Chains A and B, each alone.
Chain A
Amino acid sequence: GQNIDQPTEMTATEGAIVQINCTYQTSGFNGLFWYQQHAGEAPTFLSYNVLDGLEEKGRFSSFLSRSKGYSYLLLKELQMKDSASYLCAVVTDSWGKFQFGAGTQVVVTP
């Protein structure tokens, strides 16, 4: 079966850094996406990793280790608008089948 694990909720203060971990055990791997979803809205793309290492994009960075089945999303200089659910999604086959994690709710406090 497919298994993607993320913490349920994380709380951090404005201006701080938060790291959201995602571990996966899937039958196949063709890349890993991170999406952000604000309450009542559609998910929006944040990052894509297919090779090991760190991808940096402004305040957000994403890391992948394929051998460990592990990724993290790093959010720096947190802002109130970063309060949202962060979804880890693994592409599990060559047809582009996705498996999403349950999401991590990040709460940013003043």
Chain B
Amino acid sequence: DTAVSQTPKYLVTQMGNDKSIKCEQNLGHDTMYWYKQDSKKFLKIMFSYNNKELIINETVPNRFSPKSPDKAHLNLHINSLELGDSAVYFCASSQRALTDEQYFGPGTRLTVT
């Protein structure tokens, strides 16, 4: 059974479109994250939720909106996609926010044309 899953795995879309990436974890963890990894492989945290509550909100354009319907899900919606949004987006989860290892999903490769 997959611990942290993301859909879709690949997403190719045009500038200006709106798209969503879904993430689910079946580990019973309290905390979930979204990361962006750019072409230089730099991994940057975007958001973190603990028990459905937003606890980390980095300097991210407000075109990006996370939604956590329950503890096991954290979705990412992106409005008005831009070329610079092209990256791999990773979802992750951990039991606690501070000290526990994070389990990463397989990633979603987003390409904006």
Contact = CB atoms under 8 A, between A and B. Distances in A.
Interface of A: 30-31, 33, 37, 41-45, 48, 50, 85, 87, 91, 94-100, 102-103
B15 interface: no
Contacts of A44: 104
A96 B31 contact: yes
Contacts of B45: 97-100
A87 to B, nearest CB: 6
B44 interface: yes
B43 A31 contact: no
Given A95-B98, A103-B43, 8 more contacts: A30-B99, A43-B104, A91-B98, A91-B99, A94-B98, A96-B31, A99-B45, A102-B40
Contacts of B99: 30-31, 48, 50, 91
B41 A103 contact: yes
A85 B43 CA distance: 12
